[in-house]
Amino acid sequence: MKKSENKTLVISFSPDLVGSIVFMAVSVFFLFSMEKEVYVGSDDGVNARTFPFIVLFLMLSISLFMFIKEIILIARKKERRKISIDLRSEARSLIIFIVLLLYASSIVYVGFFFSSIIFSLALAYLMGARRLSYFIIVFSFTLAICIVFRYVLNVRL
């Protein structure tokens, strides 16, 4: 981490290296958890695990290839692609992601209707809405969507 000209924190990293590590971890996790999650009813060669296994194995292979390529470039001190992220400008995106996670977890406790209204109003505020009319419109649309889900589509909320 370093500071930019305007005194904000900036992170520089190689997206190929970070991306390959993340996708290797994800593919290994799902490969090991697939045994418990995907039910197979027969011993046929092609079953419910075949396609997910192929996709996950390809994802792991390509990620491993990218990781090894990046390690070789680091060892040879060759120029690599780097991305710099200004944390101050990306803070709002992080806050929106946290609000989205809170929304998803609050549905169980508060219910779909109330958590959707709170989430939509919070999101409108985070996006810069400050006039009361905007909040009324957001509230009305959220209410209308909840009514359509409940009474038109008969979705239990």
pLDDT at 38: 64
User: What's the structural domain count of the chain?
Assistant: 2
CA–CA dist 103, 91 (Å, integer): 18
- Choose among 91, 115, 113, 93: nearest CA to 103: 115
- Choose among 5, 19, 3, 11: nearest CA to 83: 11
Domain boundaries, position 54? 2-81
Sign of CA dihedral 117, 122, 123, 127: positive
pLDDT in tens, the chain (157 residues): 565 566 678 888 899 999 999 999 999 999 988 877 666 666 667 777 788 889 999 999 999 999 999 999 999 999 888 888 888 778 888 899 999 999 999 989 998 889 999 999 999 999 989 999 999 999 999 999 989 988 999 887 6
Full-model pTM:
0.58
Domain check: are 72 and 91 in the same one? no
Please give the radius of gyration of the chain, using alpha carbons only, rounded to the nearest integer. 23
| Phi, then psi, of 10 in degrees rounded to 5 | -125, 130
Domain check: are 66 and 125 in the same one? no
Domain check: are 133 and 69 in the same one? no
